[in-house]
Structure 1
Amino acid sequence: MPALPSFFSLFNATQPPESQLTQTLVGAINNSVSVTLTLTTTGSLAHGTLLYMRSGIAIPVVGTLAGDELLLHEFDRKGNVTGIHLGKWSRAGYSGTWSSPSLPSRSLAFSLSTVRQLEEPRAKLADLTGLYQYGYSAKNRFSQVHIQQMGEKILAVAMLAVTDEPVQNQLTVSKTTVKLAGNMAVFSNSSIATSPLKLAFFNGGATICLSGAPTMTAAQDVTQGADMVVGHYIRTSTKPPQFSVDELARIV
């Protein structure tokens, strides 16, 4: 997985993007596994589905776009990362390497070309209530974000993260109310990060990254625990959450 400064730090823009680009890309992994990627990018947020043509299985993907570098995670239905795509993105295509969390030392080249694209106003969000999960087995890490939409522009948020590397650790962030602006919310908690966290939502998932002044470094935030919650998430349940610490612990 790329270092935090490349993808999850210092996104200073706080205004939500007004448009989105949806592309259909076709190509192959390792010149042999045919795939079709339907990808929507909205600012730094990327999401869509990856269809493996041989099996006919469509897999949700969530990622972060930093300049022309795009990191995408494939997810199973429980929110565990099953594949990692890292490469160069443009309106013409996307190419790079694919790897698996279970075999991080092995990587396969992929190359996809755009066959269709549409730029349009950003999609309106439905109710965001539910459980958002991000499991990363290579680092023995599992993170949850619990969301209750309280109104059109108000969210109640709680977080729980567990990791075994480099040492076993658990982070719990109690219920906090944040304001939703477009598809974005800014979450401030000085106990885990000296700069705010930016939550970017789509219908079915979210990303969390650091958002701060240019002098802020990712290393400073890592020591406070922000690295345990930054990442890509899919929504695995639309059930309203229970926000007590005991209830959160039972879900893990």
Structure 2
Amino acid sequence: MKKYLVYISLLAIISCNKSDPKVEASSSVTPERSVTLALVNNQVGKEISWKGFLNGKTPVFIHYQLDGNIIVGEITYLNTKNKLPITLVGTTDSDNNYRILEFEKSGNITGVITGKPAEGIFKGSWFSPKTRKELTLNLVKKDTVLPSKKIETKLDDVFGHYHYQYSEAGYQGDLVIRKFPDSKAVFGITSVTGDPARNLAQIDDDTIDLKTTNFTYKLADTDDCEFNVKFYKGFAVVQYTQGVCSGQFGMNATIEGIYMKTK
């Protein structure tokens, strides 16, 4: 991301190529005020489990927990040799639509799952930001009992570097937050759209009061460009609180999204 900072003045005036609705929509999150039907089926302290197929061929097992409109879980591809689980983090909206991102530890997003669970069945799709391939997803709810992992974090653990990218060519973002004395912190956010234009959205480093694991920030000299940053164990969620900060960033660029902690 550092290489883009050199060209801030240029990027601000570059017109972006038409954005990809699949990726752009996937990078957004739903405000916490949304009420989701998904919570009705979530047993306290237990994961929700599904099993099924991608494109009718690749067997997968998915489990997750819900915290408000945030989804945290794992997907396992059952046809792989080691069957290693892959981190899932996503959101639900007010109509109970799911949008879940499949993350590598580096913050690279290898898959975007969209769909809507209903009466023990989950029908949707899986999309690859790298290959642009989209596959159908059909799951059936399972009675597998898995205890929910702790996703809350401590204040001292929020500091560091967070990143996401929809492959090397897609949308990318970085959030950095550093600890300062007297309950202060310095944070900054930089994100760009997909190539070739790479339009920019940036929040310059600023000092804030930080006494909890979330904060709300309003961009100076604006009426409604405000966003909330909430930290979880291993990731952070940035979401607008009053619209999309129209006119503040490059075309189609946004700071909103889910950022994975990388260091």
What TM-score do you get using the length of structure 1 for normalisation? 0.72
| Counterpart position of 2:37 | none
Q: CA deviation at 1:231?
A: 1.3
| Gaps in structure 2 of 5+ consecutive residues | 1-21, 35-43
Change (3 A) 1:48 1:6: closer
Q: CA deviation at 1:209?
A: 1.5
Task: Provide the rounded CA distance (Å) in 1 between the counterparts of 2:254 and 2:171.
Answer: 8
| Counterpart position of 2:10 | none
SS at match of 1:137: coil
| Percent identity for Structure 1 against Structure 2 | 19
Contact 2:23 2:129 (C-alpha < 8 Å) held by counterparts: no
Where in structure 2 are the equivalents of 1:147-158 lying within 5 Å? 147-149=177-179, 155-158=185-188
Which deviations, in whole Å up to 9, do the C-alpha atoms of 1:86-134 show, x marking residues without a partner? 0113694533111111343633233241424679897541311221111
| Counterpart position of 2:167 | 137
| Counterpart position of 1:38 | 63
| Mapped pair 1:8 → 2:29 | yes
Q: Which has the larger radius of gyration?
A: 2
| Counterpart position of 2:255 | 229
AA at the equivalent of 2:106:
K
Q: 2:233 aligns with which of 188, 203, 223?
A: 203
Q: 2:78 aligns with which of 27, 31, 53?
A: 53
Task: Provide the rounded CA distance (Å) in 2 between the counterparts of 1:190 and 1:139.
Answer: 31
Instruction: Please give the root-mean-square deviation of Cα atoms over the aligned residues, in Å.
Output: 3.7
Task: Provide the rounded CA distance (Å) in 2 between the counterparts of 1:5 and 1:51.
Answer: 21
Instruction: Give the number of aligned pairs.
Output: 226
Q: Which deviates more, 114-123 or 95-104? A: 114-123
| Gaps in structure 1 of 5+ consecutive residues | 14-18, 238-252
Contact 1:147 1:158 (C-alpha < 8 Å) held by counterparts: yes
Higher fraction of strand: 1
Q: Which deviates more, 222-231 or 95-104? A: 222-231
Q: CA deviation at 1:54?
A: 1.9
Q: 1:28 aligns with which of 37, 53, 60?
A: 53
| Mapped pair 1:110 → 2:102 | no
Contact 1:42 1:122 (C-alpha < 8 Å) held by counterparts: no
